[in-house]
Amino acid sequence: MISAKWLVLWSLWAARLARQPTAPLRVSGGRVRGSVAHDGSHAAYLGIPYATLTHGNRFQAPGPEPKWEGIFDGVEENARCLQRLDIRGNIFIGQQDCLTLNVYTPLNASPDAHLPVMVFIHGGAFVEGSGSPGLYGPKYITSKGVILITINYRLNAQGFLCLRVKEAPGNAGIKDQVAALRWIQKNIRVFGGDPGRVTLFGESAGASSVSHHLLSHMSKGLFHRAIMQSGSALAPWGHQVGPVKVAASLAKVKGHTIEDPHELYKLFTSMSELEILTPRIPRELGGTIMSEMLVSPCVEKVIDGVEPFLTEDPYTLLAKGEFTKMPIMIGTNDEEGYFLASYENTTTLSKMNFERAMPVNLEFPTERERSKEACRIKEMYMGNDTISKESLVKLSKFHGEPFFVYPAVAETELVLKNSDQPVYNYVFKYDGRKNIAKWYAGFSGLPGAAHGDELFYLFEQHNVPNMFEWRMMDTITTLWTNFAKYGDPTPETTELLPVKWYPTNRTSPQAFVIDRDFSTTPLWSDSLKYWHEIYTKYRKKHRNDG
């Protein structure tokens, strides 16, 4: 959930030097030419359109890739999907026509190289972000002999308005991602990639997306390994439980009291692309920033003539074992909550109470039970402290554990129960000079890694110095690319990776700790066990009518 404002600043600062063009390649839409990186480390083919949007498929799956004459110059990263510049701001960036992807290859990869492919889905709470090389630069990944692809997909109501009617069935943004994966199957050979060895990875909303792709028939066969960094389809913000109600609340902000999905569709389709982004549902009184995150994938209705992405809820599918079995890597950072807690201010803190801030995918039969559980949660995290700026570090565990850590551990548990493919769990704890998210959130000086911090070690950024921390960058990119190559992050021990990372098992579930030294830690802490108890009793049941 790295703010888009940052990303734009970086893109602006990015050097715009003359680049050496690559030889053109032929993809399904036409010919495309990329450029060689200044330092000669890789070739980049930027902004390739993989699907089309017209007024006709607004809120729906995208159309096929466009065709063009001549040579498409993939030298500018010139597209991002429409979004507010900041969760709080009212400035908009991006364009409607945004379904593009960036392909980065090791230099001179020949078409018969059959290199493993890693496809990254960016985070940003399903409302912001892009696959921009400003934040997701490829160099450390391509240098390991892997092709990296980053993608854009529709955001916010444009991508995730879910009315369960033919004209707005839901999941348009995630169907964009499927279209990108299909494009990759069709075209990656030309770049030297192996369409049979595709690893899908993502962070935050991107990880929740990956988790959803494991559950969908639509995505089956389009990827073969999955990495989920700080996100899951089980996260309260990662999947909408009441999408029509969310749409009704958006309409309400615009001054319309409508609940009927067809009427809602009429309203939304009459709005301009920017107008759709302007209503912001006020957070529930007493909630945290997490209760503002309402837009995400949903369960669709079966509708004649519409190919659905998902027709059952993630928890049920995982519990029944109805997901695509493959090697999985899933983990979180040890201080996820820092980044999110930094969005609270003295006003929101003074109004916050645990009862109203409980995750939205819990449902309590009585207010009394809600209070009782909220009270125990408050004691667990705050002890006798009251909520204030001074106790924000304690409170931040509440922004982190139920929203990121527990969902990942719960998904692990269900996958282990139903799949014999390896599951590699990790906790990223490293505290170095590139924990930019933690620094941005104002928590530098405290140990641990905040939400998003690992990204700065995996990718190169345009204006974060890269001379530091080469060892951790080498470590994490080696673990990730090993997984993409072999389905195993440590196929052998080396000087860099002296410890073997074993898959998690049910008898003694452990996570691999990524820090200065490697170690393992039990997957379940006492507080996670407590969340498990709560979810076992109160997990909200899926209903197809809200």
Ligand X SMILES: *[C@@H]1O[C@H](CO)[C@@H](O)[C@H](O)[C@H]1NC(C)=O
Widest CA span in the chain: 69
Least distance to ligand X from the beta carbon of 349, Å?
Answer: 9
Amino acid at 533: E
Backbone phi, psi, residue 117, to 5°:
-120, 135
Min dist. Cβ of residue 385 to ligand X (A) = 9
- Least distance CB 432 / ligand X (angstroms): 26
Q: How far is the CB of 383 from ligand X (least distance, A)?
A: 4
Rounded Cα distance between 207 and 330, Å, is 9
Q: Using an 8 Å Cβ cutoff, are 102 and 77 in contact?
A: yes
Helices marked H in 419-469: 436-440, 455-458
C-alpha to C-alpha distances, 232 to 45, 209, 213, 401, 407, nearest whole angstrom = 30, 8, 11, 13, 6
The verdict on whether 413 is a catalytic residue reads no
Minimum Å gap between C-beta 283 and ligand X is 6
Question: Is the CB of 190 or the CB of 380 nearer to ligand X?
Answer: 380
Q: Residue 379 has which token pair?
A: 């004691």
Q: Is 270 a catalytic residue?
A: no
Out of 65, 128, 335, 373, pick the active-site residue.
335
Q: Which of 42, 292, 451, 454 is catalytic?
A: 451
In the complex, minimum distance from the CB of residue 441 to ligand X, in angstroms, rounded to a whole number:
15
Rounded alpha-carbon distances, angstroms, from residue 264 to 20, 235, 256, 411 = 50, 26, 9, 34
By beta-carbon proximity to ligand X, the closer residue of 348 and 444 is: 348
**Of the candidates 134, 129, 132, 135, which has an alpha carbon nearest to the alpha carbon of residue 150?**
132
> For the chain, give me the number of helices (H) and strands (E)?
19, 17
Three-class SS of 201-247 = EEECHHHHHHHHHHHCCCCCCCCCEEEEECCCCCCCCCCCCCHHHHH
Nearer to ligand X, 96 or 510 (CB): 510
The residues with which 423 forms a beta bridge, in sequence order, are: 328
CB closer to ligand X out of 217 and 500: 500
Q: What is the DSSP string of 344-376?
A: --HHHHHH--HHHHS-TTB--SSHHHHHHHHHH
Give me the count of residues in the chain.
546
Nearer to ligand X, 339 or 364 (CB): 339
Q: Virtual CA dihedral for 140, 144, 149, 155, nearest 10 degrees?
A: -50
Which residue, 232 or 504, has its beta carbon nearer to ligand X? 504
**Residue numbers at the binding site for ligand X (CB under 6 A):** 345, 347-348, 383-384, 502, 505, 507-508, 510
At its nearest, how many Å lie between ligand X and the CB of residue 484?
Answer: 23
C-alpha span between 89 and 94 (Å, rounded) = 14
Structure tokens at 222: 């389009």
CB of 141 to ligand X, least distance (A): 28
54 vs 345, which CB is nearer to ligand X? 345
Q: Which of 35, 130, 132, 204 is catalytic?
A: 204
- Which residue(s) pair with 229 in the sheet? 203, 331
Which C-beta is closer to ligand X: that of 343 or that of 538?
343
533 has catalytic annotation: no
Cα–chain center distance at 32: 28
- Catalytic positions, written as ranges: 204, 335, 451
